[in-house]
């Protein structure tokens, strides 16, 4: 997996960024809010699936202080930097930082075959 991450970092640096689509958002457990009292509350984080031409990334917002909800189905520009991804939605123009939770190569990326007759 580290090799794939290095390859995607190299590709992002060559092109100055990549384009992808936010295809889904789910709420996943990401720890608990501990207080001095015995009651703790489980925290939920928004996890997005960001799909590029060749890869699919599962990402979570890096900071819980300034939560920004990404629009599902929206095309975005992004750059990968180590275990982080910087996502820019064209309408807002602002870049947000997310953690890369996992990444997988898309198996459906090059499934179209040309037929010759």
11-70 pLDDT per residue, tens: 444 446 899 999 999 999 887 666 666 667 778 889 999 999 999 999 998 777 777 889
For residue 111, is it within any domain? no
Which residue range is the domain that position 51 belongs to? 2-105
For 71-96, the pLDDT digits (tens) are 999 999 999 998 999 999 877 778 88
Q: How many domains does the chain have?
A: 1
CB 64 within 8 A of CB 99: no
Q: Which two tokens stand for residue 55?
A: 């890869």
For residue 19, is it within any domain? yes
CB 50 within 8 A of CB 101: no
In whole angstroms, what is the distance from residue 22 CA to residue 11 CA?
20
pTM of the model: 0.71
For residue 51, is it within any domain? yes
CB 43 within 8 A of CB 31: yes
For residue 94, is it within any domain? yes
For residue 113, is it within any domain? no
pLDDT score, position 18: 93
Longest dimension (CA), the chain: 73
For residue 66, is it within any domain? yes
């Amino acid at each position: 997996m580290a090799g794939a991450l290095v390859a995607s970092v190299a590709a992002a640096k060559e092109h100055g960024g990549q384009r992808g689509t936010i295809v889904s958002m789910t709420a996943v457990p990401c720890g608990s809010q501990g207080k001095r009292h015995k009651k703790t509350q489980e925290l939920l984080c928004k996890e997005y699936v960001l799909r590029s031409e060749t890869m699919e990334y599962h990402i979570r917002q890096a900071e819980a202080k300034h939560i920004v909800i990404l629009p599902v189905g929206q095309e975005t520009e992004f750059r990968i930097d180590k275990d982080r991804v910087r996502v820019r939605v064209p309408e807002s123009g602002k870049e947000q930082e997310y953690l890369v939770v996992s990444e997988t190569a898309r198996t459906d990326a090059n499934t179209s075959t040309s037929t010759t007759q």
